[in-house]
Structure 1
């Protein structure tokens, strides 16, 4: 079941990227996705961070209660702000979590212009995330 969901996510991501490329052909920069984008591995994270000015990365685990509570917040942030939201499953991406010193979940990293600028651990309010995105956007 989980593999099927991941495959659907990958297909949706490809559709969004191809639609975004067509839609932004005349624009100076790509639009941010309106849904959180699952990221698998360092290459995908690097690509996502390089493609967007502001990226909120949600390091999470399926078994984590606070991560599940944060899910609707990051979905709203993805839909209603200019930031791209990337989701990294720490169980499937242990080396990536270690690379960014993720010791607990949820951990949110905010990247601006390709660099990590903010780190938040634990449940966060939507208003705080919006404020950080606006400050760095």
Structure 2
């Protein structure tokens, strides 16, 4: 069992520095990374579900603007948005492309939190 990491914040973290991506992913046990763009309708539609997940679960949520961080999006093979990646213990464990229900997000994260 790995050492317990930081408690997850109750709201999404907006990536402000590409170099901090790996730190954020490593800092928490389970991280849902939301690759999005402000102009993306399905991304905006999912916003309440993403915020709810951040406030109601022990997973951290990291928001990555693909327009601002194109290299990072390319590194993780993001071709369509929204793309949501689940990191568990710093390693990518799941990938979801396209709009997801809140239940689908919760299920993806809950399976990693146990």
Alignment pair present for 1:123 and 2:99: yes
Aligned to 1:44: 20
- Picking from 73, 76, 83, the partner of 1:107 is 83
Contact 1:32 1:84 in 2 (8 A): yes
Aligned to 1:67: 43
Q: How far has the Cα of 1:41 moved from its partner?
A: 4.1
Q: Distance in 2 between matches of 1:85 and 1:53?
A: 11
- Quick one: higher RCO (CA 8 Å, sep 6+), 1 or 2? 2
Give the gaps of 5 or more residues in structure 2. Answer: none
Match of 2:52, SS? helix
In the TM superposition, structure 1's runs of 4+ consecutive aligned residues that sit over 6 Å from their partners are none
Greater helix share, 1 or 2?
A: 1
Greater strand share, 1 or 2?
A: 2
Q: Distance in 1 between matches of 2:111 and 2:18?
A: 26
Aligned to 1:32: 8
Structure of higher CA gyration radius: 1
Alignment pair present for 1:88 and 2:56: no
RMSD of equivalent CA atoms:
1.0
Q: How far has the Cα of 1:37 moved from its partner?
A: 0.3
TM-score, with structure 1 as normaliser: 0.77
Number of matched pairs: 110
